[in-house]
Structure 1
Amino acid sequence: MKFYICREKAEPKPFKIAIIGAGPAGLTAAGYLACRGYEVHVYEKMPEGGGMVAFAIPEVRIPIKAVREGVKDLERLGVHFHFRTKVVYDSPRELGDEWAEHFVSLERLLSEFDALLIATGAWKPRKLKVPGVELPGVYDALTLLHHIKMARIGYYPWERVPDLKGRHVVIIGAGYTAVDVAIEARLLGAEKVTMAYRRSLEHSYAKTEIRKLISEGVEFIEYATPVRILGEKRAQGVEFAKTRIVEGSVVTTDERFILDADVVAYAIGQLPTSPIREVVCANEEILKEAGIFFAGDVVAPRNIGTAMREGRAKAKEIEEWLFNKAPRRVFPVPVTAKLISSVVNGKC
């Protein structure tokens, strides 16, 4: 997997850039900047690069071997990787933190580097807020996919993955994450897989992939939203309410139905996980003046191609900023830290 193709490496330039996060956006930016002659350091809490491409997307879609080859290309280009290293400012704990062995403060990076790109992705799943969601047998899709992929590539024992063989798996959602759960469930021997979505199939941006799954035997239910998970000691079913679309919005009706289920996985989106708390609330333009840029899922959900294109675009933006701003003289580190604090506290 090629994150960036460097035709000819430029002469070294007198700037250092730190990139937090080794997903598609961060890796593409790293490749562009290294090719242009900048010293680039990538900080990543996981044991290797790739982000969710490496640690959540099914192996049958993107093999880990291809991701590793892409990262090796960047190392040969001169990118410095700091794996198992988490950058912290006021970060909450999130998926994958157990792999971090080293911690670096955001303030330290601001003092050592001329510009900073935050590309930490969205590793926090949105919580399904219905009764019964805490029952055994109910999983958020991202954690489930992460555990399956980590087992497939040898980081986790298979005992950490729920046994899906012969089970009825009900998936709530219709995005790419939901599709990936359906793919893995079938590969792991699920007897039946049902996807339920509060809108129609035509509203899903993964409709092409879902149509393929339907042709392979996956059941797809439109206009349905969960109202509770049924069961006593573990999940045994899901009660859904029928929905309808009114002026573009989803409206829940009084009509109900129940699906039996052995395993329930909800894929209702992920939240950005930045070293700056609630960075989505901050004024991105003001932070840019301090040499702090953002790319990828940490801004908003992207597919892989879009994240890579944005990583390259942000790298070009960083390059332009470096030559126009004289960053160290514009915002000394203590001022930058205060700026971040004031922006975050004022907006969130």
Structure 2
Amino acid sequence: MRFYICREKGEPKPFRIAIIGAGPAGLSAAGYLACRGYEVHVYEKMPEGGGMVAFGIPETRIPIRTVRGGVRDLERLGVNFHFRTKVVYDSPRELGDEWAEHFVSLERLLGEFDAILIATGAWRPRKLKVPGADLPGVYDALSLLHHIKMARIGYYSWEGIPDLKGKHIVVIGAGYTAVDVAIEGRLLGAEKITMVYRRGLEHSYAKTEIRKLIEEGVEFIEFATPVRIIGDERVQGVEFAKTRIEEGSVITTDERFILDADIVAYAIGQLPTSPIREVVCANEEILKEAGIFFAGDVVAPRNIGTAMREGKERAKEIEEWLLKKAPKKVFPVPVAARLISEVANGKC
């Protein structure tokens, strides 16, 4: 997997760039900047690069060997990787943090580098907020996929992975993450897989993949949303309410039905995991003036190709900023740190 193709490496430039996150966006940006002659350091909490491409997507879709090959290409290009290293400011704990052995403050990077690209992705799943969601046998899809992939590539023991053989798996959602759960479920011997989506199949951006799954025997139920998980000591079923679409919004009706289930996996989206907890209220232009840029899922959900393109575009913006503004020291480090503090405290 090629994250960036460097035709000819440029002469060394007198600037250092830190990239936080070694997913597709961060790796694409790292390749562009290293190719242009900049000193690039990538900080990643996981033991190797690739982000969710490496640690969340099934091996049948993207084998880990192809990701590793792409990372090695960047190493040969001169990119410096700092694995098992998490950059912190006010970050809450999230999926994958157990791999971090070293912690570096964002303030320190602001003092050591001329620009920073935050490409930390979206490693925090949205929680299913219905009664019974905490029952054993109910999983957020992202964590389930992550643990299965980590077992497949040798980081985890299979003993800690749920046994899906002969089970009925109910998957809530219809995006690529939901599709990946269905794929892994079939590979791990599930007897039946039912996907349930609150909108119609045509509303799903993964509809092509879902149609293929339907042809292979996966059941797909549209226009339904979960209202409670049923079970005593563990999940036994899910109660759904029928939905309809009015002026683009999902409306829950009074019509109900129940599906039996041995395993429930909900794939209802992920939340950005930036080292700056609150970037929502931030004026992105202000942060750019401080030499802080964002790319990939940390901004909004992206597919792999879009994330890589955005990483390259942000890298070009960083280069333009470095050449035009950084020498003028628009925002010294203490000012940049104060701006971040104001953002994090909701004062922006």
Q: Normalising TM by the smaller chain, what interval?
A: over 0.9
Does structure 1 retain, via aligned residues, the 8 Å contact 2:239–2:258?
yes
Does structure 2 retain, via aligned residues, the 8 Å contact 1:168–1:190?
yes
Q: Which amino acid aligns with 1:136?
A: P
Unaligned residue ranges in structure 2 (runs of 5+)? none
State the distance in 1 between where 2:326 and 2:231 align.
61
Does structure 2 retain, via aligned residues, the 8 Å contact 1:239–1:259?
yes
Does structure 2 retain, via aligned residues, the 8 Å contact 1:50–1:67?
yes
Does structure 1 retain, via aligned residues, the 8 Å contact 2:171–2:193?
yes
State the distance in 2 between where 1:328 and 1:84 align.
34
State the distance in 1 between where 2:293 and 2:82 align.
19
Partner residue, 2:297: 297
Tell me the alpha carbon deviations over residues 270-292 of structure 1, each in whole angstroms, 9 at most, x when there is no partner. Answer: 00000001223321111000000
Partner residue, 2:173: 173
State the distance in 2 between where 1:316 and 1:296 align.
15
Partner residue, 1:266: 266
Shift of 1:345: 2.4
Partner residue, 2:68: 68
Tell me the alpha carbon deviations over residues 71-113 of structure 1, each in whole angstroms, 9 at most, x when there is no partner. Answer: 0000000000000000000010000000000000000000000
State the distance in 1 between where 2:211 and 2:200 align.
12
What TM-score do you get using the length of structure 2 for normalisation?
Answer: 0.99
Q: Which amino acid aligns with 2:34?
A: A
State the distance in 1 between where 2:68 and 2:280 align.
30
**What is the SS of the residue equivalent to 2:335?**
helix
Q: Which amino acid aligns with 1:161?
A: I
Partner residue, 1:31: 31
Tell me the alpha carbon deviations over residues 153-176 of structure 1, each in whole angstroms, 9 at most, x when there is no partner. Answer: 000000111000000000000000
Does structure 1 retain, via aligned residues, the 8 Å contact 2:278–2:343?
no
2:198 corresponds to 1:198: yes
- Percent identity, aligned pairs only, is 86
Q: What is the RMSD of the two structures over their aligned residues, measured on CA atoms?
A: 0.9
Partner residue, 2:242: 242
Q: Which amino acid aligns with 1:211?
A: R
What TM-score do you get using the length of structure 1 for normalisation?
Answer: 0.99
Does structure 1 retain, via aligned residues, the 8 Å contact 2:241–2:253?
yes
Partner residue, 2:146: 146
Aligned length: 348
**What is the SS of the residue equivalent to 2:22?**
coil
State the distance in 2 between where 1:241 and 1:347 align.
40
State the distance in 2 between where 1:81 and 1:181 align.
30
State the distance in 1 between where 2:95 and 2:167 align.
26
State the distance in 2 between where 1:281 and 1:244 align.
33
Partner residue, 1:336: 336
Shift of 1:332: 1.3
User: Relative to 1, partners in 2 of residues 1:266 and 1:327: Cα closer, same or farther, differing over 3 Å?
Assistant: farther
State the distance in 1 between where 2:326 and 2:167 align.
60
2:102 corresponds to 1:95: no
**What is the SS of the residue equivalent to 1:236?**
strand
- Please identify runs of 4+ aligned residues in structure 1 that moved more than 3 A: none
| Residues 1-348 of structure 1 mapped to structure 2, 5 A cutoff | 1-326=1-326, 329-346=329-346
Unaligned residue ranges in structure 1 (runs of 5+)? none
State the distance in 2 between where 1:162 and 1:223 align.
28
Shift of 1:127: 0.3
Shift of 1:334: 1.0
